[in-house]
Structure 1
Amino acid sequence: MTGERDRLLADAVRLREDGRREEAKERLLALCERFPLDAEVAYQTAWVHDTLGLEAEAVPHYVRAVEGSGLSPDDRRGALLGLGSTYRVLGRYPEAVTTLGDAAAGFPDDAALKTFLAMALYNTGRARDAMEILLTLLAATSQDPDIAGYRPAIEHYAKDLDATM
């Protein structure tokens, strides 16, 4: 059964990657019926719904994926980012902040999680916290020589935008 499941899942993912998302969605929904506790199937099903602009329909699949077991660390990170981002798109900002904040704590080196967390924080009126995250991220990751030259100042102001040097 596992070999068949793996083949069917790989076929559905390939369809999504080839732009045949509706067909992929139908196959993944059928797999969800056969394997309702399978976190990887749930994650792929959520992902295809997201690519189709069906965010509300993606949420229960993302939830099942992150609450289940069996995802690789990279897929878990992707599922958490997808869930948090989807909550944000749906206007469910507090849930987005919680999901993305927990994910960023669990994957502290992931710049994408921090970026989406900053957007969700902004949506909840926490612009100062959002700016701190983004400025810290910019200072740490920018290869632009003009930014790099000001890294100490940017890191200083990231902690307190109202501070003076």
Structure 2
Amino acid sequence: MKISALSYGGDDYVTKPFSPGVLMAKIKAHLRRVSTGRKEQLLELPGLTLDFYAQSVNMGSETIFLSKKEFSLLSYMAQNVNRVVSVDALFQLVWGMESLEDTRTVAVHISNLRKKIEADPANPERIITIRGTGYMLVARSAALLART
């Protein structure tokens, strides 16, 4: 029974009768293993935390769920924070070489992304356009934000 339970994807097996103390120790051990891997799946920027596991963004206490393409765009820019990322690079990353789409679709997705993460999407402060080149995700420290 133990072998089949573990071979079908189980992480552990508890037989009856069991001690509540042993059960709690096993649960805590599993939670420790899960939480240590979980930190590696977060990317924290000032005022913005990307959760690669849930494909969501946390802004303060608010969780914002993004489409797969929006999350791909934002996560790539977050990994290149404060650097200009070309429209072509974003297009190749998200849509690939074989896509029948047009690079203008990047602008549409960036616009949708701004509506979700910018305080004023018409005057973006997080994702700015670099004319003729691409976009840049700007991460300012809290001290810089307070001064501006």
Task: Give your verdict on TM over 0.5.
Answer: no
Higher RCO structure (Cα 8 Å, ≥6 apart): 2
Q: Return the index of the structure with the highest Cα Rg.
A: 2
Which is richer in strand?
2
Higher share of residues assigned helix: 1
Tell me the TM-score normalised to structure 1 length: 0.27
